[in-house]
Each structure stands twice: as structure tokens, then as C-alpha cells.
Amino acid sequence: MANPVPSACCMVLAAVVMVYAQKHSQLDTHVQYERLGADMTMQCGTMDWDAVVTWTANGTDIDESHLNGSHLVLRNVDLTHSGLYACYEGSSWHLKYQTYLKVGTSPKEPVLMCRSNNYPKGFYCSWHLPSPTYIPNAFNITVMHGPRELICEKDAFPKNRCHIRYLQLFSTVKYKVTLTVTNALGRNATTITFDEFAIVKPDPPENVVAKPVSNNPRRLEVRWQNPSSWPDPESFPLKFFLRYRPLILDQWQHVELSDGTSHTITDAYAGKEYIIQVAAKDNDIGTWSDWSVAVHATPWTEEPKHLTTEAQVAETTTTGTSSFMPPPTTKICDLEAIVGSGAVTVSWAEGLVLAAVGVLFI
Amino acid sequence: CDLRRKLVIVFPAGDSWGIFAFLCAALWNLPAIPALNSTDEVGAGQSIQKTYDLTRYLEHQLRTLASTYLNYLGPPFNEPDFNPPRMTRAEMVPSATVDFELWRSLNDNARLAANYRAYTHLLCYLRSMDGQVAKAELRKNLGHFCTSLQGLVVSIASVMSSLGYPLPSPLGSASPTWAQGPGATSPHNDFLKKMDDFWLLKELQTWLWRSAKDFNRLKKKVPPAALMLRLEMRGF
């Protein structure tokens, strides 16, 4: 029977070695950034050039042809080269050096824009890179108003955005915003300058609803709401732009409305499905919002009369009128269509009646 | 001649001499306007609308005038990103810039008075600019603009008087600086003079934007307020 003491000693010794080895394998894992397309050399920590080592990439052994002594040589690196590289001493398989290689580019000039969709409360600036760098980037934004620097508070979401509250209104001094983007391989920056009024652009109107109007085959009633981000429509009223067209045509019709959040279209083609959108703008300053979500609607049509027998169908078709056609527009002079708010389209029939009425009154 | 009716019918700016003559008469007779009756609430409301419309018209006119004038001044004044530091000399013109809460809380009288004072000053400086300009065409355009701007001043005055507010003292406090103002610079200060002109146009543009917002607020508030104010003034 073997002596228990030496085997116990062996076990303790093994444990110590293992702990020591583990401690050593908890090497500082470095991070290394390299430019796309570059040639690079990795050194195995403090090992001599002529030491025998084995390199691995993400756990896979690297062929000796890539080695120059104990240095790993990588040519014309691309994104597939990114990963964890480790260097082991030849015989003992000791981990000598470990690093994350991240291949990327230095940042191109960022794209920066600022906009006030909540005038007169303030404005926000948002930015992005025109092409990815594949490595982490840090953004820094500074806002100058004349000699004064303002703090742009970063938004939680979306991330590349910050906002500023106006302390003063109606400023003659321009705002100057500079965005700097930095990463391990370089930096870049862009600056924009603007007047308070130039960046005002509301969000599109909300809850746009279009409905047919009973007994009116050429009308559609459209209603919408001010964008909820616009804080004070009483003092800073919005005006609106409505566009509509039947689905079958490409040409839009436009109506500009200086107040109110509804409009009745009076010249819709009977029975055709329409697509309608609305945009908003501050009454006096800035630019138009994007178009709202499109809504679809079809004007009211009379219910087709049910036919009782085949014979009756044959009879009605021979007389030339079809019971499936919606009735023609009402002949009664519709003053509302002529005098209503917004765009005015007077059909010739209505015009004739109006002229007749006018003559009567002269 | 019915002065009250004439005050309401200021627009559109038509024959320059006719307007000038009646404006002189209007300004002369302004303090003597007799007691007003209820039709003037409606009158005040319409005057505010017309004043608002005029600020929009002037703002539109100014865009063309300013770009022509800045081209006349030459670079860097006509560069779009030109953003010089504001110099204290330019502080002679009352600034439209105002703290947001303060602007919101202005009462109707203060709001109107601020506009009235600003445009009387601006008109004064614009007129002096007029005298210096070498190009005849530009001088003519400036002249027309001044006439329209004078119309705005009178329009604001008419709103104020129809609401029973006193007119702010005309240019009294500004006289000393005005006397040595933009019109009287030496040739050595040519660049500084151009800077003054630049800031004057900038301030004018900003005021016209601000006035649109000021008159929007007034539009919503005037009729009930006017009635209350006049009842107070008559001691009821």
C-alpha cells in the first residue's frame, strides 16, 4: 500500500499548481483596435522573439505560416479577423498573452440636425454616422448661443439625441451646434448654425379621420388633431395643408387651411376610394411638417336597389338605365359648397343657379 | 373728417403722399380722440387683425429688401452663416429678445407699447440708413418700406387708443443716442456702420416675427378685456 502522506502532498501540490495556473490565466485581457485593411503584428506579451509559442484565434489554432518568430502577423485585416487572440508558451501550454482584436474604421463626418417641434419650449438635436465604424464611438455635443454655452440634455431614447429649453425667445443671435465623434482610431466633427425661427417644424397632425357624408356622394369629411408635441396652439397657432386624390389617379389636390382642424372635401369623384393626408406648420415661421399617416375613405353611395325577377332586370336594362349606377348629384343649389371654408370648387350647374338667383335680386 | 374711421382703414398702403399727409394728421390728433362707444371693440378686433396682416406683409417685403441691402454691403454681411458677436453699439435698438415667461405674462398694454416703441425706433434708424445709400433703386425700395413701416406704427397706435391705452412717449429717451446715432459716423467707422446696418435689419426681422406672435395673443384676448378696461377707466 502506498504511503498516504506523499499522495496527499501530491494532491495539495496539484491544487496549488492549479490555483497558480488559474491565477495566471486571469491575465489582463487587452483590447486592441486596428484599422480595416491594415497590416499588424501581435507580440506575445514579454516573450522573446525566438520563443516557441502557439497562437489561437477564438480557440482555434493559428497556422505557423502567420508567425514571425513568436509574433503573430496579420495582413490586410478585415472584420472577420475580429475576435479573441491568445498566445500560449509552446511546451507548457501556459497562457502568456490575451487580447481582443476589434477591426474598424475612424469615424466619417457625422450627420447632425436640430429641430424645434415644440416651439416655443425648445429644440432637440439628433445625429448619426453615415457609415458604421464597427467599434465603439463616443459623441460629444456643444451648443453655443453667442458667447454662452448651453447644456443639451441627453435623451434616454432615442440615444443619439439631446434637447434644450429656450430661455429666451425671439433671439437675433444664431445658435451654433458642434458634434464631435471619437473612437480609438480617430475623430471627426461637424457644426451647424441656425436662427431660432429656421428650425421650427411641427410633428404631423394626429388622429386624421376621413368619413363619408350621408346623402352626399361627392363629399368627404376630414378631421384631425394638433400634434400632441406642440405645446401652445392658442398662442402659436398652426395652419394646415391637406392633400387628397383618388387611388386610381397620381395627381394630388391641395387645400391650405389657416385655422380649424377639419375640412369637407366637396369635389370627390363619386364612388372612388380616396387617400388623404394632412401636414402642419406654424402660422408664421419655420417649415411644414411631414405628411400625416394616410387615411382612406370612399364617399357615400346610394344602396343599389334589389331586383326581384330576371325578367324585370331584362326590362330595365333595355330601357337604358342601370339600377347599379349611383344617382346623379342633387340639383338643389348647395350654398354650403360655395361659401364653405378652405378651397372652393363651384360646379357649373350650381354656378348657373347662383347667377339666376343673383339676377332675380338685382 | 372722421378720424376714427380713417384710423381703421389704414391698409393697404397705397398712395405714399396721401398716406404721409393723413399720418401726420393722425399723429397730431391722436391724443384728442373722444370717448368711445361699443362699436370700437369690434373695431379694435379688426385693427388687431389688420396690424397682424401688416406685420406679415412687412416681413415678406423685408426678406427681399434685406438680401438686396446685404449684397450692397458686400461680404461678409451677405454670407448666410455670418454670425458676428453682438456689439454694444447695436443695443440702441430695442431688442425683440425676451425671457419666455416674461413675454407670456405681458399685459396687453405692455405688449402693444413694446411693439410701438420698437417700431418707432426702427423706423428712425431705417430712415437714416436711407440717406446714406448710394444706389437709387435701393433707396427707393427702402423708402417704400419705411412708408409701410410707418403704417404699422400708426396701426399699433390706433389699436392702443381704441383700447384706451396711452401712447408711449415718442423717442424722448432715445434722442441723445439717436443724435449721434448711425447717421453721424465718420468714414473711418465704415465697417462699424455696416455692422450697425446688419444688426438693424436683423432686429427688424426678428421684431416682425415676434409681432406676429404678439398680435396672435392679442387677437384672442382683446374683446372682453377692452370692455373691462374701459368700464374701469370710467370709474364703474
Give residue-wise pLDDT tens across range A188-200: 999 999 999 999 9
The answer to whether residue B104 neighbours chain A at the CB level (below 8 Å) is: yes
Overall average pLDDT of the B23-27 stretch: 52
More confident residue, A340 or B168: B168
Residues B55/B205, Cβ–Cβ less than 8 Å: no
* Rounded average pLDDT over B201-219: 92
Q: Do B203 and A166 touch (CB under 8 A)?
A: no
A61 vs A201 pLDDT, higher one: A201
Q: Do A193 and B209 touch (CB under 8 A)?
A: no
How far, in whole angstroms, is CA A50 from its chain's centroid?
A: 55
Write down the pLDDT at residue B32. 41
Instruction: Of B43, B163, B187, B180, give the one whose Cα is nearest residue B113.
Output: B163
For residue A135, what pLDDT is reported?
Answer: 94
CA-CA distance, A275 to B74, in Å (whole number)? 49
- Set of chain B residues whose Cβ sits within 8 Å of the Cβ of A234: 220
Work out the average pLDDT over A8-25: 68
Q: E strands within B47-174? A: 98-99
Contact B216 A169 (CB under 8 A): no
- pLDDT, mean of residues B155-171: 87
Q: Nearest CA of chain B to the CA of A114: how many Å?
A: 16
pLDDT tier at A25, thresholds 50, 70, 90: low
Higher pLDDT among residues A168 and A13, named by residue: A168
CB contact under 8 A, B202 and A172: yes
Query: Looking at this predicted complex, what is its ipTM?
Result: 0.72
Q: For cell 426678406, name the residue.
A: B63
What is the model's pLDDT at position A175? 95
- Minimal Cβ distance to B98: which of A168, A176, A193: A168
Closest partner residue to B98 (CB to CB) among A147, A169, A176 is: A169
B111 touches chain A (CB under 8 A): no
What percentage of chain B carries pLDDT values higher than 70?
A: 64
Question: Whole-angstrom Cα distance, residue A186 to residue A104?
Answer: 11
Phi then psi for residue A58, to 5 deg, are: 50, 40
- Considering only CB atoms, which chain A residues are within 8 Å of B56? 284
pLDDT at B148 over 90: yes
Q: How confident is the model at residue B203 (pLDDT cuts 50, 70, 90)?
A: very high
Res A130: pLDDT: 96
Helix (H) / strand (E) element for B203: namely: helix B190-233
Min Cα–Cα distance to chain B from A304, Å:
50
Q: What mean pLDDT comes out for the span A137-145?
A: 95
A217 touches chain B (CB under 8 A): no
Report CB contact under 8 Å: A173, B83. yes
Please give the pLDDT value at position B17.
Answer: 53
Task: Give the pLDDT confidence of B59-116 residue by residue, as tens digits.
Answer: 999 999 999 999 988 889 988 888 887 765 556 778 899 998 899 999 999 999 999 9
pLDDT at A162 over 60: yes
Residues of A with Cβ-Cβ distance to B212 under 8 angstroms:
283-285
The answer to whether residue A163 scores a pLDDT higher than 60 is yes
- Which residues of chain B are within 8 Å of residue A191 when distances are taken between CB atoms? none
Do the Cβ atoms of A171 and B199 come within 8 Å? no
Higher pLDDT, A350 or A280: A280
Report for A183-187, A309-313, A326-330, B80-84: range of highest mean pLDDT: A183-187
On chain B, the residues whose CB falls within 8 A of the CB of A169 are 97-100, 103, 210
pLDDT average, residue stretch A257-265: 92
Query: Does residue B177 have a pLDDT over 70?
Result: no
CB contact under 8 A, B213 and A235: yes
Q: What is the mean pLDDT of residues B203-228?
A: 80
Predicted local distance difference test score (pLDDT) of residue A350:
55
Tell me: pLDDT of A335 over 70.
no
B215: closest chain A residue by CA: A235
What spatial distance separates the first Cα and last Cα of chain B, rounded to whole Å?
Answer: 32
Interface test with chain B among A119, A164, A170, by most B beta carbons within 10 Å: A170
Among residues B220, B222, B218, B215, the alpha carbon closest in space to that of B53 is found at: B215
pLDDT at A145: 93
State yes or no: pLDDT of A252 exceeds 70: yes
What average pLDDT does the segment A314-321 reach? 48
Taking CB atoms and an 8 Å limit, are B83 and A167 in contact across chains?
no
A173 and B104 in contact by Cβ < 8 A?
Answer: no
Is the CB of A172 less than 8 angstroms away from the CB of B86? yes
Of the pLDDT bands very low, low, confident and very high (cuts 50, 70, 90), residue A349 is: low
Cβ–Cβ of B206/A171 closer than 8 Å?
yes
Instruction: Dump pLDDT digits (tens) for A274-311.
Output: 999 999 999 989 999 999 999 999 999 888 777 665 55
Is the pLDDT higher at B197 or at A114? A114
**pLDDT digit string, tens, across residues B31-42:** 444 444 445 556
CB B113 within 8 A of CB B198: no
Query: What integer pLDDT is reported at residue B135 of this predicted model?
Result: 80
Determine, for residues B209 and A284 on separate chains, whether the beta-carbon distance falls below 8 Å. Answer: yes
For residue A185, is pLDDT > 60? yes
Please report the residues numbered 236 through 255 in chain A whose beta carbons come closer than 8 angstroms to any beta carbon of chain B: 236-237
Calculate the average pLDDT of chain A: 84
pLDDT, mean of residues A159-170: 93
Q: Does A285 touch chain B (CB under 8 A)?
A: yes
Which residues 155-174 on chain A approach chain B with CB closer than 8 angstroms? 166-174
- Parallel, antiparallel, or unpaired: how do β-strands A295-297 and A168-169 relate? unpaired
- Nearest CB among A120, A193, A234 relative to B83 is that of A193
Strand order in the sheet with A253-257: A253-257, A238-246, A274-282, A295-297
Q: With beta carbons under 8 A apart, name residues in chain B contacting A167.
A: 99-100
pLDDT band at A235 (very low <50, low <70, confident <90, very high): confident
CA distance A199 to chain B (A): 14
